[in-house]
Amino acid sequence: MALPDNPALRESVKCWGLNIDSHNQFAAITALNTDPPLLRVPNFLTPDQCEALIAAQTTKNNESNLYLNYRINQELNSADESEEAAQLIQCTDTADSYVSSSARSGFRAQVHHNEAALQPVLQQLNKLLGFEQREFVFAEELWIRPTKRTVVIRDVTTVRYYVGEGVPPHVDGKDCTVLICLQEPDHGGRTVFPEDAVWVAQTRGTALVYHSKKQLLHFAEAVEKGTKWVLQLLIDFRVRADELDVHIDYKTGAVTRHST
C-alpha cells in the first residue's frame, strides 16, 4: 500500500520523526512494514548514478575496518569468534538455507562525503526525508549528536558481494538506515527481515529506508549467482529533548539558543 493511503504507517513515520515525501517525485513509495517503518523507494537513483558509485569504489583496494562486517569476516577467517560475532550470527528463527554462519560478508569500502558520485544520493535524501533545512554532518564519533540544524551521517559505504557472500543477522543501531541497490545479482542476495516475515529482492536504483535502531533484525542472503553492489547510509537525526532549544557546534563547542 502506498504511504499516502496508509494512516497507520503515516502515524508510525511521524512518531519516527521523519517527514517522508510520498508525493511528487516519490509517489511510488511503498510500505513493506508499518511499525517499525520499512519503506521501499523505486528509482531513488538512476542507472547512471549507480554505475558512477560502483566505478568510484572499484579503484579502492583497502577494506574499511570500522564496520561490523569487516570485524566478523576477520573473526571467521581466524577461527577465533568473539562474543559479538557469536551473538550476531546466531538466530534461531532463521532457516539455515537462507543464511550461514560460515559465509563471508562482502567487501566494504567507505565513501568519502566529498566524492562527486555521492552528491546525487545526498540530494535525494534531502528531498525524501525532509532534511532541506538541516545540514549533513559526517561523523562516526557518538558524542557528535544531531541538532535541529544538523543530521549526522555515521557511515557511508559500498559493499560488493560475490557468490557465497552475505551478512549475518543484525540491527544497525541508528535512527535511520538507507540501503540502495546499485546492482542486483542474478540470483540470491535478498535482504531479509525474519521477525517481520519480509524478503526483499532489490533492483538497481531502489532504496530501502527503515528504522533499525534496536528493531527490524535483518540479514543479507548469500549471493547464489552474479555480483551484488549496495550503498548503505547509517543516519542519526533525532534531537535529544534537552537539546531542542539550543544548537551545539561540535567542532567549536559554541552553544547558541534557537530563536524559535
For the residues 213-233, what does the mean pLDDT come to?
93
* 28 has a pLDDT exceeding 90: no
Q: How far apart are CA 257 and CA 8, in angstroms?
A: 35
249 inside domain: no
* 92 has a pLDDT exceeding 50: no
219 inside domain: yes
Q: How far apart are CA 258 and CA 97, in angstroms?
A: 53
More confident site: 146 or 57: 146
Worst-scoring range by mean pLDDT, 58-62, 66-70, 113-117? 66-70
86 inside domain: no
Count the Cβ atoms, other than its own, within 10 Å of residue 159.
24
Residues pairing with 33 in the sheet: 38
What is the length of the chain?
260
How high is the pLDDT of residue 223?
94
More confident site: 185 or 131: 185
More confident site: 231 or 68: 231
259 inside domain: no
- E-strand stretches of the chain: 30-33, 38-41, 107-110, 135-138, 150-161, 167-170, 176-183, 187-188, 191-193, 198-200, 207-210, 218-220, 223-225, 228-236, 246-248, 255-257
253 inside domain: no
- What residues make up the domain containing 72? 29-76+98-238
How high is the pLDDT of residue 125?
92
Q: How far apart are CA 91 and CA 94, in angstroms?
A: 6
* 76 has a pLDDT exceeding 60: no
Q: How far apart are CA 253 and CA 84, in angstroms?
A: 34
User: Which of the listed ranges 68-77, 123-132, 180-189, 234-243 does the model predict with the highest average pLDDT?
Assistant: 180-189
* 245 has a pLDDT exceeding 90: no
How high is the pLDDT of residue 5?
64
56 inside domain: yes
Worst-scoring range by mean pLDDT, 75-79, 196-200, 204-208? 75-79
Number of domains in the chain: 1
227 inside domain: yes
Average pLDDT along the chain: 80
For residue 32, give the C-alpha cell.
513493506
For residue 27, give the C-alpha cell.
509517489
Q: How far apart are CA 48 and CA 120, in angstroms?
A: 11
How high is the pLDDT of residue 62?
52
204 inside domain: yes
Q: How far apart are CA 139 and CA 152, in angstroms?
A: 6
Question: Is residue 232 a contact partner of residue 174, using CB atoms and an 8 Å limit?
Answer: no
Cα dist from 173 to 116, 154, 160, 196, 251, whole Å: 28, 11, 22, 18, 24
**Around 132, how many Cα atoms within 13 Å sit in the side-chain half-sphere?**
6
Q: For the segment 122-171, what is each residue's pLDDT rounded down to a tens digit?
A: 999 998 988 888 999 999 888 899 988 899 999 999 999 999 999 888 88
pLDDT classification of 42: cutoffs 50, 70, 90 = very high
Question: Is residue 218 a contact partner of residue 212, using CB atoms and an 8 Å limit?
Answer: yes
Report the CATH number at residue 214.
2.60.120.620
How high is the pLDDT of residue 96?
43
Does the pTM of the predicted model rise above 0.85? Answer: no
- CA 190 remoteness from chain centre: 15
